[in-house]
Amino acid sequence: QVQLVESGGGLVQAGGSLRLSCAASGRTFSSVTMGWFRQAPGKERKFVAAITWRGGSTVYTDSVKGRFTISRDNAKNTVYLQMNSLKPEDTAVYYCASQTTAGSGQYDYWGQGTQVTVSS
């Protein structure tokens, strides 16, 4: 099992920045890729960004490209999401997740989520 704990959410004005962290523990060696997802009120959870532990390859959803940056610190088993130029539509609960099978698209472990609220 992999345990994931997110932190760093909060309230910020439009145009501001936040950095989310996701600390992984447990069987972290089984994790191949880490992803960030978000769920706005009344909407489905959606993919935001992902990064591979080994090579650091990244992928982003179009709406955050150029504003968000995902990174990882292998020594700390921690993944970050730097969010700049935040917009009210970025308001959501942000979740990190761990994928244990490369290329599966399936995320096996999830954190509890952290709230991000962007005021206009």
Would you give per-residue pLDDT tens digits along the chain (120 residues)? 899 999 999 999 999 999 999 999 988 878 899 999 999 999 999 999 999 988 889 999 999 999 999 999 999 999 999 999 999 999 999 999 999 888 788 999 999 999 999 999
% of the chain residues with pLDDT over 90: 84
Question: Which H/E stretch holds residue 102?
Answer: none
Going by C-alpha positions, the residue among 23, 2, 6, 13 that lies closest to residue 94 is 6
What pLDDT shows up at residue 31? Answer: 83
Tell me the three-class secondary structure of the chain, residue by residue.
CEEEEEECCEEEECCCCEEEEEEEEECHHHCCEEEEEEECCCCCCEEEEEEECCCCCEEECHHHCCCEEEEEEHHHCEEEEEECCCCHHHCEEEEEEEECCCCCCCCCEECCCEEEEEEC
Q: Which helix (H) or strand (E) holds 48?
A: strand 46-52
